[in-house]
Each structure stands twice: as C-alpha cells, then as structure tokens.
Amino acid sequence: MCTFSLYGGRALAVGRRIPANWTPIPRKTCMEQPRRQGRNPKMLQPVPLRRVLGVVLLALIAGGCGGNSGRAARRTTTPVGTATAPVAPRSRTVTTTSVARQGAAPSSHPLVTVGQITVHMVDPQRTMSVGGQQVPRSFDVLVRYPMGLSGPFPLIVFGHGYEVTPASYTDLLNAWARAGYVVAAPVFPLENQNAPGGPNENDLPNQPQDMSLVISSLQSPQDSPASRVSGMIDFSKVAVSGHSDGGDTALAVAYDQRVRDTRIKAAVILAGAEDPFAAPFSMPAKGPPLLAVQGTADNINPPDQTYAFFSQAAPPKYL
C-alpha cells in the first residue's frame, strides 16, 4: 500500500519534504504492487486517483500543446546533458482484424458508454523470434473511445506491465475513455502473460517503437476498423502512459533520444523508473510535460530511480 497527498494540483509522495508555502488538499491512496509477483494492476488506482490522473493528464496535454506553458513543480534541477535530434516518427504497415463493442460499467462518467475495437498491427521493418523463427513483429491493440460524444479527442497510448495484458487495467482505461480520451493499449507481443514460450522481459527495448507504431497506424489507417476511430482523434494532443515495464516504455518513447517520438505531448509514468536500454540516457533540454507517480514502499521500482529521472526532466513536471 502506498499513500499520496495532493499539493497544489500535484501528486507528491508522502514522506518527501513539503515546501512551507504549499497548501495540502485531501489525501488519496493507491495500491502499489510489485512487478513480478502476480499483482492485479487494475487495482493500481481506486476511482478517486483515476479521476485525478485524468484531469492532470488533460492539463499536461494542454500544456504540451501550448509551448510548455504549464506550471512546473517548484523543486527542479538543470537537465543533464544535451539532447540530439529526436528519431523521426516511423511509418509502418497495419492490418486490422475483428471489431468488438462493449458497454462499460458506470464510473466517473456514468452516462458515457465506452466503445472498443481491436486492431492488429504489423511492422514489416522489424522482426521478433517466435518458435525459433524470425517473423514480422505484430501485436493487437485495444482501442477504447467515448461513444455518443463529438470529438476530436486526445489520444493516450498506454503500456501494460510485465506478465499481464491491458485487460488488467480495464477500470483505469475505461475511466479515461469516459473522460473524453481515445485510449490505445497495445498487447506487447513478447512481454504479455500469453506470449509464445512465456513472457520475455528482454524484449522491453523493442516496446517504445511499438508505441510509435500505434500512433502512426491510427493516424494513417489503411482499412477498417482503425479508420473508425482515426477521425475521432486530435493527433496534436497525444500522450503516453504506462505502468511498471509499460511505464519504462512510455518514459523512453517520450524522452530517450534514441527512440523519442516528438508527436508525444505529455507523459504519465506509473511506477516505471528504469530505462529499457543498457546505456542510460539524459532527459532532453526541452521535453513534453511529465507526471511521475511512485510508491514510496515499492521494492521492485525503487523511488530513487523515479527521483533520478524526475530531477533531470525539464519543467513542467509533477511528482
């Protein structure tokens, strides 16, 4: 169990020194569960914190589209290192398969029904090993959207943790869709619980490009059902988020110059504190707004790792 208090619109881990001029507002709690010990990630945030994340995410995206005009956390440091030119957005082939619709249970917006489609994406320029053979990298993406509302809506690409699937985060993803987002959650092909041969965490460095592929494929759909949601999306307002290994993935695609996608305007990192690559990276001198959520009693993703990348990040940033 971890506890967070909200100070001036920011989630700040309890136990850290609070500036005297910050005014506390009511406390929220969350469940923090270890990365490789059979957790149930849909318990990551009860409804109140999910609402907070939705509101803050919208503010982050707005700030990212407004030239980093959002207010930064008061405790900041000078970014380390110099960023080089980011990787250009990747263009990929996508094929699509079955369509599914579901009415979600009421939550923060009980009058909004969540629609869902499944899109199968294929990247012919990358391969993965399946059964000892190299095959084109492919995976399903679960796309949720608010039915009956006029768009366009911001897009959130969400990365699941190790040894689970996006289904473990149903409550959170549905809450975001009801709040007015299109939410695309890839099933990472070799880290999910149903991966051929069992989950393989060594595939983590390949996942940031999976997130970029999701954005490109939705932006330029080749056939149905991706085309059904493409027109609902405002591609000038794209955010990434993720939990645990999915948080590592989102952190890299938003800020790591080796795989950075400049279409991303905000990032929400939930207990994801490690760089997927062996060599560490420096946060860019100017990047998208950042919200980092970290459990103070997390023994799998230690708080010091989150503090390390957060201290390097340029404002606006929130912890």
Residues 144-169 pLDDT 10s: 999 988 899 999 999 999 999 999 99
Q: Decide if pLDDT at 279 tops 60.
A: yes
Contacts of 307 (CB under 8 A, 6+ apart): 294, 319
Look up the pTM and report it: 0.72
Least confident piece of the model among 27-36, 47-56, 240-249? 27-36
| Mean pLDDT, residues 94-122 taken together | 63
Task: Identify any residues that bridge with 270 across adjacent strands, giving them in sequence order.
Answer: 243, 293
Q: Decide if pLDDT at 135 tops 60.
A: yes
In angstroms and rounded to an integer, the radius of gyration of the C-alpha atoms of the chain is 18
Q: Decide if pLDDT at 238 tops 90.
A: yes
CATH superfamily of the 2-318 domain: Alpha/Beta hydrolase fold, catalytic domain (3.40.50.1820)
Q: What is the pLDDT of residue 275?
A: 77
Nearest to 18 by CA among 27, 6, 30: 6
Which of 62-71, 127-136, 294-303: highest mean pLDDT?
A: 127-136
CA dist 63 and 317 (Å) reads: 11
Per-residue pLDDT band for 86 (boundaries 50, 70, 90) equals very low
Coil vs helix vs strand at 296: coil
CA dist 47 and 28 (Å) reads: 10
CA dist 316 and 97 (Å) reads: 39
Contacts of 233 (CB under 8 A, 6+ apart): 151, 152, 153, 154, 155, 182, 218, 219
Which residue ranges make up each domain of the chain? 2-318
Least confident piece of the model among 76-85, 241-250, 300-309? 76-85
Q: What is the pLDDT of residue 63?
A: 56
Which of 18-32, 239-253, 268-282: highest mean pLDDT?
A: 239-253
